[in-house]
């Protein structure tokens, strides 16, 4: 007896509807997943800066409450002529602060600066020598950083004949250039630098809130603090370490062409209040708009370690376009973040 058998199947229209629904769901979920991924990277970045803060605390405990000095050879002569306060390599060269923190964190093998990075003239030169940069201090890099190669600028040759990197087995040529390594963060020179030019006005500024003006033109400016964080006014609001560096390799290469003297220069992971008209991070970014990334984390957020060694994510609440550039940078953050360690003068 014949039986009428029918096969059940999707029609073409039904199949297209299902595919359309799946595509719609993917388009809705992907941005959320990407946002969650970036948020997770930012949290890991904050964990890294907090790890460096712990290393900084260990360093300070072993060095009479001082953070590692970051200055030129002339500055070392001013702040530590006998080489007894801070960390140096066996050849007497001041250790770059990432190398000093690597030591304090317990990482092995960071005896000389060339154990951490390489000497190079610019980003392009440093990138070509990437294989010589140590990966042994993971805390120094941010997972959201697309570049990861940067220079802390110091140690730097001075005018007293000291040679930077003398004896470096990776570079037997005469020493030249800055050290470059795997680095996503910058240091506040106002806190950890020294006065390496005694003939000029000290470059750490006090401000009159009622009359903004460039602080280095004030004869009553204060000295750099030579790593003595106890001298900072309200250290819980003073930046010590912060996200720094270019947002992309293209930007880093473009910065090479500007040179160290360029006002918009972004190749140095060094935060200063020089040329700023106020004591805050937003003021510093108006004068040096390319030294701190604005696209690394969602909505321009940056991770900061303060002078009391606590870490925090801060977010911009106001933007401005500095003179001479074509893009906006944060002018104010949701938390007080000062670069100058001094209390502003009352109005």
For strands 185-188 and 178-182, give the pairing.
Answer: unpaired
* 51-99 tens-digit pLDDT: 999 999 999 999 999 999 999 888 898 899 899 999 999 888 999 999 9
What is the reported pLDDT for 197?
Answer: 67
Q: Which of 252, 247, 244 is nearest to 124 (CA)?
A: 252
Highest mean pLDDT among 31-40, 225-234, 320-329: 225-234
Does residue 343 have a pLDDT over 90? no
Q: How far apart are CA 259 and CA 154, in angstroms?
A: 16
Contacts by 54-58, CB closer than 8 A, 24 or more apart? 54/105, 54/309, 55/101, 55/102, 55/104, 55/105, 55/139, 56/101, 56/104, 56/240, 56/241, 56/305, 56/309, 57/309, 58/104, 58/105
The mean of the pLDDT values for the chain is 83
What is the reported pLDDT for 214?
Answer: 41
Q: Which of 296, 335, 328 is nearest to 312 (CA)?
A: 335
Confidence of residue 188 (pLDDT cuts 50, 70, 90): very high
Total-model pTM: 0.84
Structure-model confidence comparison of residues 296 and 279, the more confident one: 296
Structure-model confidence comparison of residues 29 and 40, the more confident one: 40
Q: What is the largest CA-CA distance in the chain?
A: 113
Yes or no: say if 126 and 71 are a contact pair by the CB < 8 Å rule.
no
């Amino acid at each position: 007896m014949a039986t009428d058998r029918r096969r059940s199947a999707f029609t073409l229209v039904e199949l297209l509807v299902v595919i359309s629904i799946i595509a719609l769901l993917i388009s809705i979920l992907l941005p959320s997943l990407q946002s969650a991924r970036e948020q997770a990277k930012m949290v890991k970045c904050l964990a890294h800066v907090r790890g460096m803060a712990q290393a900084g605390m260990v360093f300070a405990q072993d060095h009479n409450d001082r953070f590692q000095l970051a200055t030129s050879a002339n500055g070392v002569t001013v702040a530590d002529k006998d080489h007894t306060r801070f960390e140096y390599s066996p050849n007497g060269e001041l250790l770059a602060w990432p190398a000093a923190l690597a030591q304090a964190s317990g990482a092995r093998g960071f005896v000389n600066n060339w154990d951490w990075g390489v000497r190079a003239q610019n980003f392009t030169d440093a990138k070509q020598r990437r294989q010589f940069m140590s990966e042994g201090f993971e805390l120094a890099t941010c997972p959201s950083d697309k570049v990861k190669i940067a220079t802390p600028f110091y140690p730097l040759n001075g005018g007293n004949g000291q040679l930077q990197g003398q004896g470096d087995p990776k570079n037997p040529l005469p020493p030249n250039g800055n050290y470059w390594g795997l680095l996503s963060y910058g240091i506040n020179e106002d806190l950890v630098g020294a006065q390496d030019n005694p003939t000029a006005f000290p470059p750490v500024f006090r401000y009159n809130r009622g009359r903004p003006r460039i602080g280095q033109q004030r004869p009553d400016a204060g000295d750099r603090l030579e790593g003595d964080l106890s001298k900072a006014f309200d250290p819980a609001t003073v930046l010590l370490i912060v996200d720094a560096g270019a947002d992309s390799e293209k930007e880093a290469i473009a910065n090479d062409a500007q040179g160290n003297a360029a006002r918009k220069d972004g190749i140095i992971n060094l935060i200063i209040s020089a040329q700023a008209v106020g004591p805050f991070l937003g003021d510093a970014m108006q004068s040096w708009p390319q030294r701190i990334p604005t696209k690394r984390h969602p909505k321009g957020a940056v991770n900061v370690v303060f002078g009391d060694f606590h870490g925090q994510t801060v977010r911009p609440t106001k933007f401005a376009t500095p003179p001479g550039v074509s893009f906006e940078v944060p002018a104010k953050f949701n938390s007080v973040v000062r670069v100058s360690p001094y209390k502003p003068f009352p109005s």
